[in-house]
Structure 1
Amino acid sequence: MSLGQLSLLGFACGVLLLGGFALIWRGWRPGEENPARRPSALRARMEQVRASMPDAWARRYRWIALGAGIATVVVWVATGRPVHGLIAGAVVLGFPWIWHPASTSDRQIERLEGLAEWLQQLVSVHEAGTSLEQAIRASAARAPLAVREPVRLLSARLRTGVSPAQAYTAFGEELRDGDSDNVVLLFLSHIKDRGDGLGFALSEMSELTGARARALRTVDADRAKVRTQTRWVGIISLILASVFVFNPDYGAPFWTAGGQLFLIVCAGVFVAALVLLRVIASAPPTPRLLVSRKAES
């Protein structure tokens, strides 16, 4: 690899590395948020990616990202090849998804179970003589953990004067699945027709949501074999790739300029294959019933 080619490739990888560290810093020092405002499209997408990780890993995602940055620098310096460093960082960053290929399904089921439990809490509070909005605010602090943050934001919007229709719609945008849209549609219909049957409707919706969660658990158990295969295919492939790429006796062709570009292509194909296996191992989200709206500025 010539000096000019190495410099150009190193500059491109350095820009990506600096961008990654900037995102890490942004995650550690988040700006002040207005709970009455919907999250931006980028923020919502990042939250979806984080939600696809197991809880224990999601709580430490900043440390994982920091470890990925350190791995990138260390391997880059040790090998003198920027693509080797970027791939090492990507492996660290993506390891939670490789080791837990079905966490999206687990999170979806837990959220449905939490939603069903929260609806039962609303029934109990509403039957004490409170309105739906008052019941939501009263239940925010003790909502199930799987839905506590969306419920807290919903309560904050109602408390700060956002109209119930906008608050309920934003609640649906955060959960982003058809089962949650059923709950949102129930809330929206109550705005127009504040009848006496809200408690019964909430109870029935809780039962339907709980039944949906139980059905997903049954289907998820059938995918256990695919999940196990996905995990070990990813790990074994990474071990074999490390032997061939980082061992000078086998990986010499990857140390040239063309080899570095070819290595990026191979890494992209590998990631695409893992994503496909993850999709097969995960339950697809229920189709949305509400039209998605752009986040408010």
Structure 2
Amino acid sequence: MNALVPGLAGGLIAAGLLAIGVGLRPTAEPPRQPPQPRRRLLTLSPRTRVLVLAGLGLGLAGWLLTGWVLALVIAPVAVVGLPVLLSAPPALAQITRLEAMEEWTRSLSGVLTVGVGLEQALVATLRSAPAPISGEVTRLVARLRARWDTETALRAFADELDDSTGDLIAANLILGTRRRGAGLASVLEGLAESVAADVRARRQVEADRAKPRSTARWVTLISASVLVVLALSGTYVEPYRTPIGQVILVVLLTAYVATLIWMRRMANGQPPPRFLGPHPDAAALR
């Protein structure tokens, strides 16, 4: 036992000296990263700023009238967040863009039946391009006039549309540029009919989804109105004035908001994935 203690101590000293030697050994400094520009963490639009100020005013009034300190937080969050959660999802804007693609494809098919080339037909559709995709069509025509390769310009056009239906339209046009056949107009007409059927199906789905969304909107408005009335005049919510009651109120409201977020995510859905990858020439020319 007496010999074990000095041996253990000597081993620890040797290990310590080895660790000191490893630590003092010079190492190459990692390359310094260039200073990153400071990004603004939060950028509020003028409308959001007005809503935040209105919410703070309502929260301050609610705190003075009811004694609920949480009104300073609940009111701004409700004024800013509830319109976003209860508003129409972005699927309606996607349907509008799909409808614009269908209209533009049908117009392009009609121009091609006259007998002009594909590039001339694309330029001719600029004046009648629907508003939701007029910017993309304008840039496509500008690239063609700048002597871009037609396939490269069409791939850049698909990247700007950023939609699987846009990829389908661009892919058919790319095939038309390669083969230069006479059947492109009929192909585009059939594609426009397919997109129109897709638009009708999506509108029907959104009409079905609008019913539970409207129910949730009315339930939320009624619940908020009842809560405000009871907080101002009733004794039913007296337990929520205590610190424990405030905590319980926060938990209940958080669960309600989480339910609204969950419902909105279920209604949004996932867009179909794109299949037309970016063209290296288009990326190099940008």
Q: TM-score, normalised by structure 2?
A: 0.62
Matched, 1:74 2:61: no
Correspondence for 2:124? 138
Whole-angstrom distance in 2 between the partners of 1:138 and 1:86 = 55
Whole-angstrom distance in 2 between the partners of 1:163 and 1:82 = 64
Correspondence for 1:235? 221
**Structure 1 residue corresponding to 2:87, chosen from 100, 109, 115:** 100
Correspondence for 2:162? 176
Whole-angstrom distance in 2 between the partners of 1:272 and 1:174 = 34
RMSD: 4.2
Correspondence for 1:54? none
Contact 2:122–2:141 (8 Å) recurs in 1:
yes
**Structure 2 residue corresponding to 1:189, chosen from 175, 186, 210:** 175
Contact 2:99–2:199 (8 Å) recurs in 1:
yes
Whole-angstrom distance in 1 between the partners of 2:243 and 2:119 = 61
* Structure 1, unpaired ranges of 5+: 1-17, 25-61
Identity %: 31
Contact 1:113–1:209 (8 Å) recurs in 2:
yes
Correspondence for 1:285? 271
Whole-angstrom distance in 2 between the partners of 1:160 and 1:84 = 59
Counterpart of 2:274, as a letter, is R
Whole-angstrom distance in 2 between the partners of 1:170 and 1:271 = 40
Correspondence for 1:155? 141
Shift of residue 145 of structure 1? 2.9
Whole-angstrom distance in 2 between the partners of 1:23 and 1:293 = 36
Contact 2:85–2:261 (8 Å) recurs in 1:
no
Residues 1:187 and 1:95: Cα distance change in structure 2 (over 3 Å): farther
Whole-angstrom distance in 2 between the partners of 1:137 and 1:85 = 57
Whole-angstrom distance in 2 between the partners of 1:268 and 1:157 = 51
Counterpart of 1:281, as a letter, is A
Residues 1:172 and 1:97: Cα distance change in structure 2 (over 3 Å): farther
Whole-angstrom distance in 1 between the partners of 2:279 and 2:225 = 44
Residues 1:75 and 1:226: Cα distance change in structure 2 (over 3 Å): closer
Shift of residue 198 of structure 1? 1.7
Whole-angstrom distance in 2 between the partners of 1:171 and 1:162 = 12
Q: TM-score, normalised by structure 1?
A: 0.60
Q: Secondary structure at the match of 1:142?
A: coil
Residues 1:170 and 1:234: Cα distance change in structure 2 (over 3 Å): farther
Shift of residue 184 of structure 1? 2.1
| 90-99 or 214-223, which deviates more | 90-99
Contact 2:109–2:188 (8 Å) recurs in 1:
yes
Residues 1:72 and 1:111: Cα distance change in structure 2 (over 3 Å): same
| Higher RCO structure, 1 or 2 (CA under 8 Å, sep 6+) | 1
Counterpart of 2:117, as a letter, is S
Shift of residue 95 of structure 1? 4.4
Deviation digits for residues 80-133 of structure 1 (CA, Å, limit 9, x no counterpart): 9997556544444444444434x4333333322221111111122233343333
Correspondence for 2:209? 223
**Structure 2 residue corresponding to 1:120, chosen from 85, 103, 106:** 106
